[in-house]
């Protein structure tokens, strides 16, 4: 048993170390120690605090989780109102705003600080003598709810800050949000536990922040970005960008995308830049915000009603909109899945006209209580298929009609079935079902599969109607004289398609496995199968147990793969396909090279000699990781021709840019 004095010194050392590592991990995305070492430090602190309860401080890292649930949310009156922002949707709105600002300040040009507008919840956090004492939601702007118990569970928010900057209280304002990947993981977990799922990351963050039990909030991955700071002792701050410097000095997380700009031209450039980055950002944003940078100018401009006259939000096109369900139909997927689809009154969502939206499955249809004739909220986020989020029941007409799922496949009339434990109805008629055959062919020729340019849905329909193709191998037997007889084909387009088909014969093993359309096998699983077996013949003859040995493959997926290769029609088609001279470079199973161990790469643009999947395979087989988006944790961006927003994001984060040859040199491989 250690003495009190030794324990006290050790608690102080551990507290500082854990707070430092929280900052490195949650704010800088740059962990300095392993999770195991972090957990060891945390456990040591817990042990000392249990032995010496008097050493447990209110801002100890151990106080972020647990605690007693609040019986209710107390109301908090904001000392300074949390105001709303005026909105701009068009360049003309910005011109009017800028003209008014310049006119009232009697200047020709104004400097603004531009920043992304996070799609989360605004909160204010109060520190007294450096300690976090209160956190509240925006509420109606004047009165919010006390959510201190949940804010303390967010690891990126320090429980104690350096109070040498101010003799009085410090108030920090910012946005609580949930990252996209964390949201999908949470929803999957909620679904597995038969708990409520959330419509979008903002709703998930809001639902988490309003939990009475902080242990629930602690179990969910909330994040925070600060964007303003005020000092109760009226410490002078000259500009918005100075605020960001102060926030960073206090180790509070801030966006790396804030930028000083000039005038309307600067606003539009920033808007377009962030809009281009938007799909690759790990969190949702719904626009950008422009604030007059100089605080003196802000004071001169003042406020109107409940909004500052020195700031404006430039909103992106809405990603949710209201529409009416005209009809409900079902679609047959390539694996026989039956998906109900709402036919909608056309509506603009996320910058596109939407007429169809997925209803996912029969269980979702019933859970959301969707009827033909209902008014609904439709969401389209990024490239995601539009979906019906909820019914607007207060607008439900009296003549709505319920919808019952069919008993037979709409394509082949085969009896539909639902496997045990699944929510999806399926047609089990396989390639004998015309819809499954068509969807399978479309998947086979898609860009991430065999990448046959020119074989779109309408061309495949023609080829099927003319009985020129039935399976994958038939594509490689097509002749130019067959194509030129078809509508839409001329000499040149026929030549181009034949050339594209011929080019696709040279592929990679992961691409080929993915192209087959095996149920439950996506790109990542196809790559793992290729790396594990290295040889197509070994893959075809493997047992269920062998498939389970592959990383990230469980019994359900293993059985899907095994059954695919045991189906005689599939084996016959594969034999005919390989007779068409489909070939790929050899791949070594269970590669031991680890030159890139722990390094995270992002690929963008067209590389001179490598296909994207080939570059990805090289990185993974050497111990590296490949991410789809750029973040602070990215080590390298491999950029080719026409690199877009990911390249700009990498430059803004000072991430090292590699060419294909740079990557190959890292792997100690010759370009040839």
Angle, vertex CA 501, rays to CA 496 and CA 502, nearest 5: 95
User: CA 410 to CA 78: how far, in whole Å?
Assistant: 59
User: CA 403 to CA 383: how far, in whole Å?
Assistant: 28
Which of 122, 24, 130, 139 has its CA nearest to residue 74? 139
What are the residues facing 617 on neighbouring strands? none
Which letter, b or e, does each residue of 651-660 get, where b requires 16 or more Cβ atoms within 10 Å of its Cβ? eebebeebeb
- Report residue 256 as tokens: 């790396």
Range 657-661, long-range pairs (CB < 8 A, 24+ positions): 660/607, 660/608, 660/609, 660/610, 660/615
User: CA 141 to CA 144: how far, in whole Å?
Assistant: 7
Which letter, b or e, does each residue of 625-644 get, where b requires 16 or more Cβ atoms within 10 Å of its Cβ? bbbebbbebbbbbbbbeebe
Cβ atoms of 98 and 252 within 8 Å: the answer is no
- Report residue 146 as tokens: 């006390």
Q: What is the 3-state secondary structure (H, E, C) of 452-488?
A: CCCCCHHHHHHHHHCCCCCCHHHHCCCCHHHHCCCCC
What are residue 418's phi and psi, to 5 degrees?
A: -120, 120
- Report residue 350 as tokens: 């996320």
User: CA 210 to CA 289: how far, in whole Å?
Assistant: 26
Question: 35-51 and 4-22 helices cross at what angle (nearest 10)?
Answer: 150
What are residue 387's phi and psi, to 5 degrees?
A: -135, 155
What are the residues facing 89 on neighbouring strands? none
Residues for the chain: how many in total?
A: 672
* Rg of the Cα atoms in the chain: 29
Residue of 117, 152, 160, 259 marked catalytic:
117
117 is known as an active-site residue = yes
User: CA 443 to CA 471: how far, in whole Å?
Assistant: 12
Angle, vertex CA 338, rays to CA 358 and CA 551, nearest 5: 90
- Report residue 613 as tokens: 């999947």
> What is the 8-class DSSP label of residue 519?
T
User: CA 525 to CA 481: how far, in whole Å?
Assistant: 39
DSSP track, 577-627: HHTTT-B-----TT----TTTT-EEEEESB-SS--HHHHHHHHHHTT-EEE
Residues 6+ apart with CB under 8 A from 563: none
* Residues taking part in catalysis: 117
């Amino acid at each position: 048993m250690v003495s009190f004095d030794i324990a006290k010194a050790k608690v102080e050392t551990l507290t500082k170390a854990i707070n430092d590592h929280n900052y490195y991990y949650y704010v800088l995305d740059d962990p300095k120690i392993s999770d195991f070492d972090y957990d060891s430090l945390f456990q040591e602190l817990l042990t000392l605090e249990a032995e010496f309860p008097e050493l447990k401080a209110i801002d100890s890292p151990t106080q972020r989780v647990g605690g007693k649930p609040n019986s209710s949310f107390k109301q908090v009156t904001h000392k300074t109102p949390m105001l709303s922002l005026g909105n701009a949707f068009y360049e003309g709105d910005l011109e009017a705003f800028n003209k008014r600002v310049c006119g009232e300040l009697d200047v020709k040009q104004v400097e603004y600080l531009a920043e992304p507008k996070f799609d989360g919840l605004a909160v204010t956090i109060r520190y007294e003598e450096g300690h976090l004492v209160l956190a509240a939601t925006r509420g109606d702007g004047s009165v919010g709810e006390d959510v201190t118990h949940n804010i303390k569970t967010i690891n990126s928010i320090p429980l104690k800050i350096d109070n040498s900057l101010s003799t009085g209280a410090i108030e920090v304002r910012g946005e609580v949000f949930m990252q996209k990947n964390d949201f999908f993981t949470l929803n999957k977990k909620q679904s597995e536990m038969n708990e409520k799922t959330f419509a979008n990351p903002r709703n998930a963050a809001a639902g988490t922040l309003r939990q009475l039990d902080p242990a629930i909030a602690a179990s969910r991955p909330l994040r925070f970005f600060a964007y303003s700071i005020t000092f109760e002792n009226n410490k002078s701050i000259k500009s918005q960008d100075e605020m960001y410097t102060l926030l960073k000095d206090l180790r509070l997380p801030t966006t790396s995308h804030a930028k000083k700009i000039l005038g309307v031209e600067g606003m539009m450039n920033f808007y377009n830049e962030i809009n281009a980055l938007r799909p690759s950002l790990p969190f949702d944003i719904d626009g950008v915000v422009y604030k007059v940078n100089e605080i003196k100018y802000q004071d001169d401009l003042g406020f109107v009603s409940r909004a500052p006259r020195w700031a404006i939000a430039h909103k992106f096109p809405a990603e949710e909109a209201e529409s009416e369900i005209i009809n409900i139909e079902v679609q047959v997927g390539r694996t026989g899945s039956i998906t109900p689809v709402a036919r909608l009154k056309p509506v603009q969502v996320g910058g596109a006209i939407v007429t169809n939206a997925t209803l996912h499955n029969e269980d979702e249809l019933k859970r959301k209580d969707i009827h033909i004739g209902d008014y609904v909220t439709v969401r389209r986020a990024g490239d995601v298929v539009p979906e019906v989020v909820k019914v607007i029941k207060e607008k439900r007409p009296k003549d709505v009609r319920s919808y019952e799922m069919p008993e037979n496949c709409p394509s082949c009339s085969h009896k539909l079935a639902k496997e045990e434990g699944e929510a999806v109805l399926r047609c089990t008629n396989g390639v004998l079902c015309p819809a499954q055959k068509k969807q399978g062919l479309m998947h086979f020729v898609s860009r991430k599969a065999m990448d046959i340019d020119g074989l779109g849905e309408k061309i495949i329909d023609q080829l099927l109607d003319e009985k020129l193709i039935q399976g994958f191998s038939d594509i490689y037997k097509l002749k130019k004289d067959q194509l030129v007889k078809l509508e839409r084909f001329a000499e040149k387009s026929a030549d181009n398609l034949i050339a594209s088909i011929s080019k696709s014969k040279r592929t990679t093993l992961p691409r080929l496995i993915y192209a087959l359309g095996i149920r439950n096998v996506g790109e990542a699983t196809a790559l793992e199968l290729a790396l594990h077996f290295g040889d197509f013949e070994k893959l075809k003859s493997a047992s269920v147990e062998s498939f389970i040995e592959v990383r990230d493959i469980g019994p359900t997926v293993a059985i899907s793969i095994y059954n695919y290769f045991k189906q005689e029609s599939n084996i016959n088609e594969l034999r005919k396909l390989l007779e068409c001279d489909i070939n790929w470079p050899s791949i070594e199973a269970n590669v031991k090279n680890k030159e890139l161990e722990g390094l995270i790469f992002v690929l963008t643009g067209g590389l001179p000699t490598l296909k994207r999947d080939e570059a990805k395979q090289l990185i993974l087989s050497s111990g590296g990781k490949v991410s789809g988006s750029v973040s602070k944790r990215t080590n390298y961006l491999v950029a080719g021709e026409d690199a877009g927003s990911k390249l700009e994001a990498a430059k803004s984060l000072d991430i090292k840019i590699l060419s294909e040859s740079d990557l190959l040199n890292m792997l100690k491989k010759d370009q040839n």
